[in-house]
Homo-oligomer: A and B are copies of this chain.
Amino acid sequence: MIKTLRWGIIGLGWFGEIHAETLSAMPGIELAALCTRTPRRLGELADRFGVGKRFTDYRQMLADPEIDLVSIVTHVDDHRDIAIDALRSGKHVLLEKPMAPTAADCDQILAAAATSRGFFMVGHVCRFDPRVVLAKQAIDEGRIGRIISMHARRNLSKTIGRMVLDNISALMGDGIHDGDLMLWFSGAKPLSIYAQEVHPGNNKYADGGWALARLEGGAVAVIESIWHLPESTRFQIDARIEVIGTEGALYINCGEAGLEIQDGTGNHMPDTVYWPKLFAQRMGALRAEFRYFADCISAGRRPDRVTPQESRDAVALLAAAQESSRTGQVVAF
């Protein structure tokens, strides 16, 4: 007999909605509460998913004893305060990435997590991508030797860019995935980073950026995030990672994920791995991530597939990249 987990979501933007769609169909999980400051949006989604508990103030949700855990899917600028409050309330917390805008913010969350009775994990969904996990396993088995060079790209259509670039830059928003993966793959700490960004659009943050890091042990790690592909692009996301080692190389391609549809509206390669909707249910890596976190809670076992420290280190890497972009200088760690 497994107890049903009562899950609340704080933040109902497009990705909070994906959380809700995913959670609402998972056995052993009850999507129990929703929270956003916009009453209309709140009612709309709560009605759609049949959720009784509705909040416009997240503190009220945290005070509700009938909620076991929350996922925080707000703007990154709000992550620190909400996460700390949630951890202090004793709830289990799944926080969307990036953990927070700065390493200092992350350190405050880490401190709160250390003393909370709730579990804490940052939702690095790529860690639950089978292609990525198999790559990590191959690296750990020594199949490619010592890593000498890595490149990761995560490029998106400007259509998507325009929706997100007032909240976060492309380099931080998607580079956080690849920064995390590169540190995980290599097990190395960064020594220095240098970055350049481009800002052709009219949103607050830069549409694209490149960062070139040097890691302990000698590897070079290069991150590319450009949210300015043409509207017509067949890529849902042009995402790939190449890792070259002293004895081998491996190539991850997340953009060409096994399905291309050419129809009256153009050429399309839909997501088949992260959160594809199959027979009206969201499946894929995001659901696997939720499953993992839920199973940890059910089993009373602290989640360790992504540690808070790792999530913090990825923020530190990308924050340094943004500092480099601002100053034009190489940033040392």
Residues of A within 8 A of B (CB): 1-2, 27-28, 130-131, 133-135, 137-138, 143-144, 146, 148-149, 151, 153, 155, 192, 194, 196-198, 200, 207-210, 212, 214, 218-220, 222, 224, 226, 228-230, 232-234, 244, 246-254, 256-267, 270, 272-273, 276, 278-279, 283-284, 288, 295, 305, 328-330
Contacts and interface: CB of A to CB of B under 8 A. Distances in A.
A240 B74 CA distance: 38
19 contacts: A1-B1, A27-B295, A130-B284, A131-B272, A148-B207, A155-B244, A196-B220, A210-B220, A212-B212, A226-B244, A229-B262, A230-B263, A232-B248, A232-B265, A234-B262, A248-B261, A252-B258, A266-B266, A328-B330
B234 A210 contact: no
Contacts of A258: 131, 252-254, 256-258, 273
B229 A244 contact: yes
Contacts of A133: 276, 278-279
Contact of A214 (B28, B196, B208, B246): B196
A198 B149 contact: yes
Contacts of A251: 259-262
Contacts of A259: 131, 134-135, 250-253
A155 B144 CA distance: 16
Given A133-B279, A250-B262, 16 more contacts: A137-B278, A200-B246, A210-B220, A228-B244, A230-B247, A230-B262, A234-B267, A249-B262, A251-B260, A251-B262, A252-B258, A252-B259, A256-B256, A266-B266, A267-B267, A330-B330
A165 B38 CA distance: 58
Contacts of A197: 220
A227 to B, nearest CB: 10
A288 B291 CA distance: 13
A261 B250 contact: yes
A269 to B, nearest CB: 9
10 shortest interchain CB distances as A-B pairs: A248-B263, A131-B258, A1-B1, A143-B263, A251-B260, A267-B267, A133-B278, A148-B198, A131-B259, A130-B272
Nearest to A131: B258
B234 A144 contact: no
Contacts of A248: 230, 232, 261-264
Contact of A278 (B134, B209, B279): B134
A220 B198 contact: yes
Residue picked from A133, A212, A252, A261, most chain B C-beta under 10 Å: A261
A276 to B, nearest CB: 5
Contacts of A130: 272-273, 276, 278, 283-284
A19 B163 CA distance: 44
B232 A212 contact: no
A266 B250 CA distance: 12
A213 to B, nearest CB: 8
